[in-house]
Amino acid sequence: MMARKKVKLAYITNDGARKACFRKRKKGLLKKVSELSTLCDVNACAIIYGPYDTEPEVWPSPDGVQRVLAQFKSMPETEQSKKMFDQVTYLSQRIGKAQEQVKNQTKENREKDVKHVMFQSLSGKSLQGLMLMDLQDLTWTIDQYLEQVHSRMKNFKEALKNENQEQGATAAADRPMDNVTP
């Protein structure tokens, strides 16, 4: 089965396509609510107000929705709002995630800039004009590269040593045994 490509979440300007998409998504959402209720044995309901319907669509039935809402309203208010969040909370979470992404991208850009300065300095460009923080980051980056080089050299030496030992053992096994007496 092929994976679907990621859908760009944007308003669908074509009326027919938007209406068809709404119908399909609504059907899929109601199916998911039904599956969740059945598979996990939870009380669930759905109320969907659509621009193309005069009445809201409810699942499983108007009475079923009333039962779930009554059960929800009978809970203490602290329990009701425990896992609930509104648009402000949702947007706050999204902003937090976006800020984290910006922070990570800024760090990645900084690392690339420092690597660029390092490689330029290897080709003879002067380091004058760099601030102390830039020089500290450059030192750290160089140390990281040196650790990688030392690690690769160590691994290469060990692999070469193992290969030489294997060749020595193979050569000894291949030598004819001249002095063996039966």
Contact 21, 12 (CB under 8 A): yes
- pLDDT(175) > 70: no
Query: What value, to the nearest 5°, has the Cα angle with vertex 83 and ends 77 and 88?
Result: 95
pLDDT digit string (tens) for 38-62? 999 999 999 999 988 889 999 999 9
Helix (H, G, I), strand (E, B) or coil at 78: helix
Q: pTM, whole model, 2 decimals?
A: 0.47
Tokens of 3: 């994976």
Where helices occur in the chain by DSSP H, the ranges are: 15-40, 62-74, 77-80, 87-122, 132-174
Region 15-76: CATH code = 3.40.1810.10
Tokens of 63: 């009475």
All structural domains of the chain with their residue ranges: 15-76, 88-170
